[in-house]
Every structure is written in structure tokens, then in C-alpha cells.
Structure 1
Amino acid sequence: MRADQLMVDVVSLNVFRCPGSERVWCTRSSGGVAEGDRRRPVDGLRVNVKSVEFEAGLRDWSGFRTMTGDASFVPVCFMELVSQGSEDDAMDHYRDLENSVFVQGQLFEAAEPTMVLAMAALASDPPPHVRTVVLELIFQIANGVAHGDVIGRGDLGLVQRRRDSARRGILVLHRGSLRKTGEQALDVVDLIEGDRSRPAGFRDVAARSWRS
């Protein structure tokens, strides 16, 4: 590669760092996801959740709020989470989201698009150690209430919208509940399903699947 080509490649990258992480992530500034944009860690760790990348690229994250400011860092933290090789490491990045997107069960505006990322990750059938953490994130957002600051800004529909985001992936949750570790997925279904008789019936079916 010529030096001028290298320079073009470097200046066309946006560099992001998730709070508390030493890994740097890059996106090309000259094109969106539709043009083949790829979020990736500079150290070469492979991220195979393409639908998450796509969903992240559809939104202007600086327009969503967290407890600590705008949500520009959230897609990076989430991609870090789903790229980890162990549950403990994934939980480290979960805590970055827990202390900004939601705090002690209280949600900020970034919870809604974060739920979309989490459902996209779950639909991509992540490895078990990642799935456990993603389901915990989904449950906590689905179970949360709007922070007082959100209500004060006039957003009274946040709680309903993030549950609607999870409800659109209800079949993914049902599929996950049939695994031997499916209790987490059923807990989310219990929260978001409008017909309370259906989760109870499906729980019986899932329990038989776990014993098989």
C-alpha cells in the first residue's frame, strides 16, 4: 500500500473508545452501513453480529440521552459486550451500559435504541456466554421505569416504546426459551406479553423442553 493510500484510510476513520475499555473501535466516516461500513476493534477481534452493526448505523446516537450525556458511545460499548470471550468480560461492558443507559432501574432515552440493538444481537444467536448477558440487559430495560429527568423533558412514552421494541422480537424470545437455559427469555416474555395466559402456557412447554 502506498503512503498516500494509508493516509486516506487513516483520516477516513472515526475512532471511538468505550468508557473503561482499552480497545479502540473504528468506523469509516465516508459511508454509512448501507455502503459496507464495519465497526471493528483495531486489535482485530472479529464481530459477527452484522444485524447489530446495521441497526446501530441507522440512528444518530448523539440525539439520545444517557445519565452521563449523549449516547454516542453506546453502540461501541454494546459491540464490545457481544465480542467478549467470557461472561465476566461481557458483564464488564454491561455495567458501562447499566450505569448510563439505565441506573437503578430508571431508564434514559437511550434505552429505546439500546433495546433494539439487544434484540438484534439475540436474533443473531450469539454464544451462550454472550446470550446470558444480552438477556439480562433486555430484562432490565423491559423492567425499568422512566427516570424523572426523562419525564421532566416530556417523554411519557419511553416505557411503552422500549417494550414494543422487545415485543417485535417475541418469536426470538420464544425460541430462546426452549433452550435448557431458557428461563431468562421467559422472564422477559412475562414482562412484555399482553396476554398473561400465554406466557404461563408457554412456560409449561418450555419446561418440558428443558427436561428432554
Structure 2
Amino acid sequence: MTLSVKAVAARLEIGRIDWSAYRAPASGGPGLRDLFLGLLDANDESEAVGCSLEYRLEVQSMVYEVALPAVGVILAAYAEDLPLWVEMEFLNVLHNIITGEPHRSELELGNFDLVDRCIERARDGIWVMYSRLSKWNSDFLLDVLEVVDSDRERFAVFKAGFYPE
């Protein structure tokens, strides 16, 4: 398998996941592989038309099981240079997942801790997220980090670095 130079870790993570094995909204599921790759391959937003992750992992912050492996893909991609519009797509989806709650269908299956497991998975990428903090994304990314980072002192130091009192 030959890999593009862009987002190699994310591509490997995408390829190792059997997306059809996870519960997803009606619009999600197996097509996620192609959507992720479409976002990573596009040179600009016009090439990525139709590749939105919206309603593919969660619907109105009601999270489906497929969000769990997707968090790993998002963080793997986040570790590399991404176009701003792709980074924002991933950040928006990550925010919706970790601030959401399990979809009713997940609750019916006893999957009460789905969002907690997504948050735990996101903790694996804590330093990637901190390294991506910048003035343009600090409000949104700090919201994510406030949920994900269990080290309150570290979070306070980084937040103060972007919002000194």
C-alpha cells in the first residue's frame, strides 16, 4: 500500500478500522472511510464538497458508537499540518462528540459511558491538542481541552497563556 505524504498516521488509522462494525446514524457507517480520506486529500474546500462529517458520528450532539474510533482518526490527523478548514471540521466534530451524550439507541443497548470513553480516547492526544492551540482556535479548542484534560492546573496555565487576566 502506497500512502500519500499527507496525514500518514491518520490514513493508517482510517484503514485499520472496520467502519461497518460500528453503529452510526443512518448517514454514517462504511462511508466514513471515504469521507475522512476526501477531507485529507482535498487541496481546497471546493475539492471536499460532500465530505463533511456532520451527522456521520453524532446528530445534534447525540453520539453514536462510531464516534469512538473516529476520535482516534481525528487526533492522528490533528498531529500533522492540516489546512485550516479541515482542522476546523475535525475540531467541530470532536467538540460535538465530547460535549454530547449517547444517542437513545446507544442508551437502549447499555452504552451509557460512550461519551466518557470518547473523552478518554481524546486524552491520548492531549499534547497534540495543546500544541495546536492558536489565537484563531483558542476559544473552541480550550472548550474541548476543558472537558478532556483532567489536570486542572495544567489547563489553567494554558488557558491563562491565551487569556491573561
TM class, shorter-chain normalised?
A: 0.7 to 0.9
CA distance in 1, matches of 2:41, 2:152: 35
The reply on whether 1:79 has 2:34 as its aligned counterpart is: no
CA distance change for structure 1 residues 157 and 129 in 2, over 3 Å: closer, same or farther? same
- Structure 1 unaligned blocks of 5 or more: 1-35, 39-45
The equivalent residue for 1:114 is 70
Q: What code does the residue aligned with 2:23 have?
A: R
Rg bigger for which structure?
Answer: 1
The 5 A counterparts of 1:33-112 are 36=1, 38=3, 48-68=6-26, 71-87=29-45, 92-94=50-52, 97-112=53-68
The structure showing larger relative contact order (alpha-carbon pairs under 8 Å, at least 6 residues apart) is 2
Rounded Cα–Cα distance in structure 2 between residues aligned with 1:161 and 1:76? 24
Runs of 4+ deviating beyond 4 Å: 87-92
Calculate the TM-score normalised by the size of structure 2.
Answer: 0.86
Higher strand proportion (structure 1 or 2): 1
1:142 aligns with: 98
Give the corresponding residue for 2:135: 180
> % of aligned pairs identical?
28
Q: What root-mean-square deviation, in Å, do the aligned CA atoms of Structure 1 and Structure 2 show?
A: 2.3
Q: Which moved more, 1:108-117 or 1:189-198?
A: 189-198
Work out whether residues 98 and 144 of structure 2, in 8 Å CA contact, stay in contact via their aligned partners in 1. yes
Cα distance in 2 for residues equivalent to 1:53 and 1:192: 24
Q: Do the aligned residues in 2 keep the contact of 1:56 with 1:117 (CA within 8 Å)?
A: yes
Give the C-alpha shift of residue 130 in structure 1: 1.7
